[in-house]
Amino acid sequence: MDYTTTSKTEWLEQEIDSLKVQGLYNTIRTIGSPMDGRIVVDGKNVLNFCANNYLGLANHPRLREAAKKAIDTYGIGPGAVRSIAGTMTLHNQLEERLAKFKGAEAVITLQSGFTANLATIPALVSKGDVIFSDQLNHASIIDGCRLSRAQIVAYEHNNMDDLRRQIANTTEYGRRLIVSDGVFSMDGDIALLPELVEIANQHRILLMIDDAHGEGVLGKGGRGIVDHFGLHGQVDIEVGTMSKAFGVVGGIVAGKKVIIDWLRQRGRPFLFSSAMTVPDTAACLEAVDMLENSTELVDRLWANTRFMKQEMSKLGFDIGHSDTPIIPLMLGEEALAQKFSRTLFERSMFAMAIVYPTVAKGKARIRLMNTAAHSQNDLEQALETLQTVGRELGVL
Ligand SMILES: Cc1ncc(COP(=O)(O)O)c(C=O)c1O
């Protein structure tokens, strides 16, 4: 295309048309109710299996109340970036409470899990350094790695032999970082943390785990992947998010004091973008309070998950190898997965098709997100709908 003679946005129109032709155009649905086990999507009442609202906290009365009360005391916005005049008592309280909850030396909070990765990776490695990154890491890790300008060496997903090989072949760099998702969000499998710790310690390489889908889900009362494996103090950097199980929004970086201190000096989204708002921060504090005092929601999440996995297997579905509340209903063909999702929606069940390029070609699936917000009745209805649609489309 000759960009000097066409309109300034013609290339964009062509790109969008091309996405539509390939069936890759993302049509975004609108939610007209609070986030819950049952929601209103594009005006229709549906069972919701799309949200990362693992503990059902996104519309919990205690979080709503905490947010309202905080607004009455502190207003809404932080007013400036944290390093200038935007750090409020609430931000400090949340960081202290999260550090205690997670058994970490210190915590820094950011606006989101995405910005937590963008803040952390470029602050720790740069040009001349090397990052060993699991092939299936989340986009925010990939972007953080690219921003750092360090050499990126992708190792095969959860393949510790390949990681060892790559480390052995990569000797001429300065600082080194191993980075992995804690829970891989498209399959629900977990990083091999004990082996990662062993390799990182053996080679004196910094280890960073992004526990976005493990925060509030794994470990005692949802304390995360490090707690799940009993590896406190052995993972240098644990990134997390409060947008999933915590039901709110906000990023977490937990780790040694010296690392967190460094991020307050050099984490660019911390220094140059304003902090979490007052209601977000207060709601997250309430979530920590709830998780510290009871494992009830986490227990319910796992009971629901066990029931769904067991019943879906009994029905004859291929549900992959998830170790977490994420259930991938493996269908293979992209068109089948899209049709499955549309038919579920017609039958009042909201569950997204995940297709290429998010997963490999021929590995299309429906991703079912279990939560504590689902009642037994919701689960039974979901199973009945899945079975009907599965039979209708020749999957069962
Ligand atoms: C592994 C991982 N990291 C980071 C994020 C981003 O989290 P947030 O929505 O808080 O920006 C996600 C969300 O999908 C994720 O799965």
Determine if the pTM surpasses 0.85: yes
In angstroms, the CA 150 to CA 142 distance is: 12
Which pLDDT belongs to residue 66? Answer: 98
Encoded tokens for 176: 């080194």
Which pLDDT belongs to residue 265? Answer: 98
Which pLDDT belongs to residue 193? Answer: 98
Give me ligand 1 centre to Cα 215, in Å.
11
Atom of ligand 1 nearest to the CA of 243: 10
DSSP 358-383: TS-TT-EEEEEE--TT--HHHHHHHH
Sketch out the chain's domains with CATH numbers.
Answer: 23-52+295-392 (3.90.1150.10), 61-293 (3.40.640.10)
> Residues lining ligand 1, CB < 6 A?
112-114, 138, 140, 181, 185, 210, 212-213, 241, 243, 251
Which pLDDT belongs to residue 203? Answer: 97
Region at 125 (left for phi over 0; alpha for psi -120 to 50; beta for the rest):
beta
Which pLDDT belongs to residue 54? Answer: 98
Residues of the chain predicted below pLDDT 50: none
Where in the sequence numbering do the catalytic residues fall?
185, 213, 244
Give me ligand 1 centre to Cα 109, in Å.
14
Atom of ligand 1 nearest to the CA of 213: 16
Which pLDDT belongs to residue 331? Answer: 97
Which pLDDT belongs to residue 141? Answer: 98
Atom of ligand 1 nearest to the CA of 181: 1
